[in-house]
Amino acid sequence: MTGFLSELALLFHIARRNLFTTFINFIIGLIILVGTCGQVAGSSLLSTLTSSMSKSVIGSAAGHLQVYNDASEDELAIYGQMGGQDPSLEPITDFPEVKKQLAADPNVKNIVPQGIGGGLITSGNTVDITLAKLRDLYRARDEKTPSTEGKRLTAEGYAEQIASVKEHIRQIVKVIHADAAKADALRDAKTVDPSEQEHLVTAASDAFWADFDKHPYDSLEFLENYIAPQAGDADMLYLRYLGTDLEAFQKAFDRMYLKEGQMVPTGKRGLLLPTYYYEENLKLKCARKLDKIKEQLANSRRTIATDEELKRWLKENQQQTREIVLQLDGIKTKTATTALQGFLKSDEKDLNGLLAKFFDMNDQNFHERYDFFYAQIVPLLELYRVRVGDTMTFKAYTKGGSVQAVNVRVYGTFEFKGLEQSPLAGAMALMDLMSFRDLYGYMSKDKLNEIQALKAAAPSKGLNRETAEDELFGQGGSVVNESVTSTIDEKQELSGTTAKKRGATLDENTYSQADFEAGVVLNVAVLLKNEHDLEATQARLSKMSTPNTHFRVVTWQKAAGVLGDFVYYARVGLSSAMSIIFVIAMIVISVAMIMATIARTATIGTMRAIGAQRTFIISMVLAETSALALFFGSLGAAIGSALILFIGNKGIPATTPEQYFFFAGPRFLPVLEPMHVISAFFIILAISALSTVLPAIIATRVSPLRAMQTDE
Amino acid sequence: MDTIVSIRDVVKEYSLGKVVVPALRGVNLEVKKGEFISIAGPSGSGKTTLLNLIGCVDTATRGLVSVTGQDTAQLSESALTRLRLNTIGFIFQSFNLVSVLTVYQNVEFPLLLQRKLNGAQRKERVTQLLTQVGLLDHAKHRPNELSGGQRQRVAIARALVADPQIVLADEPTANLDSATGAAIIDLMKELNHTKGTTFIFSTHDHRVMQHAQSVVRLADGLISGRETAAQAVAHSLGVEQAKAS
Ligand SMILES: Nc1ncnc2c1ncn2[C@@H]1O[C@H](COP(=O)(O)OP(=O)(O)OP(=O)(O)O)[C@@H](O)[C@H]1O
Ligand SMILES: [Mg+2]
């Protein structure tokens, strides 16, 4: 035994001595070092990414397990499928029963009914808002009632206000007209609708405005019907919503808190907007960009002078002054112009020009201008296109393929603690289940009968996806358009103006617990007491499904669909990158060891002649690669670990929305686990052992005769 | 005296493609235990080939090679390796020390392969051998820090450390100057005397030959005679004189 140990010691002594004698060993070492370092860092980054993603997914929507109808055509995908569309799920019709069954498991903490969908929101564009304001002023003047803003004015007061708003609208019409002329020049003449063009010419004419007050309501209607739709497309936004029992949701997902407004009252229809989406999509674009620049300047080392993205944002602000100018009426335009002239010490008269000059910012003047913007310009503007208390119109495809529109009141904005910056957690609005069911197109028997009756009364064009699409995308402003369609069919019944009116009444509706329980849900989030028992609980719950409830239970990762896939692909990506490195390492180590063996044939031959068995020679080659792997592997693992610990200590600040998405927060803080180091180590040892096979075989073939040959 | 090496009708042919090169063409030789013999002959006569067969690093094409009574043709590769380890010591023309090991480690190497002695016993044995070759104070040196003569003395220590019955040396002095070569032969002779180890070495240097008990003369793959050292020297001197005149 002592002999064996000393032999081993000798082997390692030889290996250690050989380690630094050849340059090629240094190359091998470097590859091993990079490989282990990459494996340690990569696996810990990936597992941190997975866990931060799981934090987002579990904490903001999915819960630990998701339950849905086993008869569903597609698999549940909370964040949508690969192409962006929602999976086709068979609804759960008896949620109370499913809940009862699930609640029987001791590890189940919360059960939250859900339904997820996506729809377009029309938030009323600037034209709509301004026209509504003017209509309101005329109405208040003529009916002698206070305006919606609660003001009662003198005759001169009304005249002045009306003149100012009219001037504002005229300005808007001019802008739209100019834009349309530019667009027409680019487009094929055939695709231009000549009537649209005519309407614009009419609205821009001096005659139209001269006669405006003769029949103000007709003039307003003309603008609402023919001009507003032409400005509308940019104001259609896609928003995903999660219909749920909002109280149960808040209880189960306890990171959720309200940022603004209030919780939707029990039994009321209503919507909560995620702050992230609210800021990103509903805030005035130039203000949002200024916010983002400010944040970048504070949190990272980026400067306007050196960063292309920040420069681009400022450039965009300079070019997109229209969204500000359109919002300002005559009085406010004057206020803004004077303020900017004073601030910039410029005698430029045009507000567009002044704003362009103002947004031409640099690192020195950014903060001063930012503060000025919020103090002087913002008070003149609507900073958000939707405010708490407003009613939003959602349009979505029902399951049948028709378009459904529902009006929902925005009660507040919310976010999840620790996930404030996560676009993932901040992408989905929360909605009451009843509104969700309307959008989803679930119909009670009564409603179905009603539509059948309507269909019988008027010949229907029938429904197909294309016409529905037209309805959704073709006429962006159709919500406020007093439609000229004369036939009654279910399409019209469910969308457009009629739907809006129905939605408006729905908004006021309260619903009872019985209504709530009678309807469908699409999926059920289950939160567990002990999340480490995930798979076992999943198995137990799966067994609970009866022919009558017939549900399927999946983990959050599976339910996350594309995102779960993303984690999967990231893992596949990392392992294939690592595999490539390791295959290269294997080839290089093999080749290098073969070369080293060939260079050492005299020594090997001598050892064989002296009496070393073949096994000893194999051990010698093995010891050498092992020593190489141990030494450089340890070094690589140490560097990788140090890297992760260093990054974990400081964090990588997220600088783009994509990074917020992947980091699930403003900073990425990777965590090192011993498993990452140990597994990397074992992998590299295995690789080294494998790459020793060929050189070892070659080494054993060296004849002891080689010792006798003198090196000429 | 016992026969330790017995060679009978040995033919060794190398095949170079289709051409068959006969290196030994029917050699018969008996070596007795404790002999100190030299194999002499011109270049290409088959000296190295013969030593390789005796040393069990190569096998004969035909004929019998028996070492310590064992027919080497009957032994497996690992048995031959064991035979080399335990029975034979090698001294090479180019010393063949392991360059990454120290003098001490080089000498200890066969003992480690044998796994017979423990650390203390090994140390004693290695120290003894290094003392005998006069290199104890160089124990920690590396081969490349030594002169040629010193290296060959390390090689001798290594060849003898496991107490082999036969020591084979193929032109052990060829890479040394004549004075150093003579000292090496003296050392070998002394060890032959004190331990009774059988020494078989090849050379074509008559000054080296004269130290041998007997000289086996090889010519063209055949043994042309076995002479005493004095006869052999005279013979080779005669050859040289004939060449000179
Ligand atoms: N591996 C080999 N392949 C082919 N022929 C060989 C080989 N080894 C030796 N020979 C041939 O066998 C013959 C004997 O060679 P050997 O090396 O035994 O001679 P030697 O007496 O040792 O010569 P030297 O004094 O030059 O060392 C020579 O003709 C040689 O060319
Ligand atoms: Mg030779």
- Contact state of B78 with A613 under an 8 Å Cβ cutoff: yes
Contact A602, A712 (CB under 8 A): no
Find chain A residues with C-beta within 8 A of B93's C-beta. 710
Which atom of ligand 1 is the closest one to the Cα of B12? 12
Q: What secondary structure does DSSP assign to A57-112, as a single string?
A: HIIIIIBSEEEEETT-SS---TT--TTSPPP--PPBS-HHHHHHHHHTSTTEEEEE
Residues in chain B: 245
Predicted confidence (pLDDT) at residue A510 exceeds the cutoff of 50: yes
pLDDT at residue A92, as a whole number: 86
Q: Compute, in angstroms, the gap from residue B30 CA to the centroid of ligand 1.
A: 22
pLDDT level of residue A49 (50, 70, 90 thresholds): confident
Q: State which of B7, B49, B220, B224 you would mutate to test the pocket of ligand 1, scoring each by most atoms of that ligand within 8 A of its C-beta.
A: B49
Distance CA A656, CA A677 (A): 30
Average pLDDT, chain A: 79
Question: Per-residue pLDDT averaged across A674-696, rounded?
Answer: 88
Contact A88, A72 (CB under 8 A): yes
The more confident residue out of A138 and A171 is A138
pLDDT at residue A223, as a whole number: 86
Distance CA B108, CA A10 (A): 10
Distance CA B196, CA B139 (A): 26
* Choice among A220-234, A247-261, A341-355 with the minimum mean pLDDT: A220-234
pLDDT level of residue A231 (50, 70, 90 thresholds): low
pLDDT at residue A418, as a whole number: 72
For ligand 1, say whether the CB of B45 is within 6 Å of any of its atoms.
Answer: yes
Q: What are the tens digits of pLDDT across the range A387-441?
A: 888 888 888 777 666 777 888 899 999 988 877 777 777 888 999 988 888 888 7
pLDDT level of residue B245 (50, 70, 90 thresholds): low
User: CA nearest A114: which of A60, A74, A54, A71?
Assistant: A60
Nearest CA in chain B to A19: B100
Question: Per-residue pLDDT averaged across B150-172, rounded?
Answer: 93
Distance CA A358, CA A325 (A): 14
For ligand 1, say whether the CB of B39 is within 6 Å of any of its atoms.
Answer: no
The more confident residue out of B49 and A447 is B49
Nearest CA in chain B to A605: B96
pLDDT at residue A291, as a whole number: 92
B118 touches chain A (CB under 8 A): yes
Residue closest by Cα to atom 18 of ligand 1 = B46
User: How many angstroms separate the first and last alpha carbons of chain B?
Assistant: 43
Question: Per-residue pLDDT averaged across A614-628, rounded?
Answer: 88
Nearest CA in chain B to A604: B98
The more confident residue out of B60 and A128 is B60
Counting DSSP H helices and E strands in chain A, the numbers are 29, 12
Domains present along chain B, CATH in parentheses? 3-204 (3.40.50.300)
Backbone angles phi, psi at B168, to 5 degrees: -110, 135
Q: Compute, in angstroms, the gap from residue B23 CA to the centroid of ligand 1.
A: 6
Predicted confidence (pLDDT) at residue A188 exceeds the cutoff of 60: no
Find chain A residues with C-beta within 8 A of B96's C-beta. 602-603, 606, 707
- Contact state of B115 with A7 under an 8 Å Cβ cutoff: yes
Q: Alpha-carbon Rg of chain A, whole angstroms?
A: 35
For ligand 1, say whether the CB of B203 is within 6 Å of any of its atoms.
Answer: no
Q: State which of B47, B51, B93 you would mutate to test the pocket of ligand 1, scoring each by most atoms of that ligand within 8 A of its C-beta.
A: B47
pLDDT at residue A481, as a whole number: 31
Tell me, what amino acid is at B50? L
A708 touches chain B (CB under 8 A): yes
Name the minimum distance, in Å, from the CA of A693 to any CA of chain B. Answer: 21
Q: Compute, in angstroms, the gap from residue B232 CA to the centroid of ligand 1.
A: 22
Question: Per-residue pLDDT averaged across A544-559, rounded?
Answer: 88
Distance CA A25, CA A627 (A): 11
Predicted confidence (pLDDT) at residue A484 exceeds the cutoff of 50: no
For ligand 1, say whether the CB of B21 is within 6 Å of any of its atoms.
Answer: yes
Contact A7, B114 (CB under 8 A): no
Find chain B residues with C-beta within 8 A of A623's C-beta. none
Name the minimum distance, in Å, from the CA of A706 to any CA of chain B. Answer: 9
Name the minimum distance, in Å, from the CA of B116 to any CA of chain A. Answer: 7
Residue closest by Cα to atom 12 of ligand 1 = B23
Distance CA A272, CA A257 (A): 11
Question: Per-residue pLDDT averaged across B121-126, rounded?
Answer: 94
Which atom of ligand 1 is the closest one to the Cα of B42? 25
* Choice among A127-141, A142-156, A586-600, B165-179 with the minimum mean pLDDT: A142-156
User: How many angstroms separate the first and last alpha carbons of chain A?
Assistant: 41
pLDDT at residue B67, as a whole number: 95
A607 touches chain B (CB under 8 A): yes
pLDDT level of residue A460 (50, 70, 90 thresholds): very low
- Contact state of B57 with A609 under an 8 Å Cβ cutoff: yes
A417 touches chain B (CB under 8 A): no
Q: Alpha-carbon Rg of chain B, whole angstroms?
A: 18
Name the minimum distance, in Å, from the CA of B242 to any CA of chain A. Answer: 30
- Which tokens is A394 given? 């959602």
A4 touches chain B (CB under 8 A): yes
- ipTM, 2 decimals? 0.93
Counting DSSP H helices and E strands in chain B, the numbers are 8, 10
Name the minimum distance, in Å, from the CA of B56 to any CA of chain A. Answer: 9
* Choice among A95-104, A122-131, A323-332, A461-470 with the minimum mean pLDDT: A461-470
- Which tokens is A528 given? 């567990």
Q: What are the tens digits of pLDDT across the range A21-48?
A: 777 778 888 888 988 898 898 888 888 8
Distance CA B228, CA B215 (A): 6
B99 touches chain A (CB under 8 A): yes
Backbone angles phi, psi at A179, to 5 degrees: -60, -45
- Contact state of B57 with A613 under an 8 Å Cβ cutoff: no
Q: What are the tens digits of pLDDT across the range B72-106?
A: 999 999 999 999 999 999 999 889 999 888 999 99
- Which tokens is A117 given? 């969908």
pLDDT level of residue A457 (50, 70, 90 thresholds): low
Distance CA A290, CA A381 (A): 15
Question: Strand, helix or coil at A152?
Answer: coil
pLDDT at residue A465, as a whole number: 40
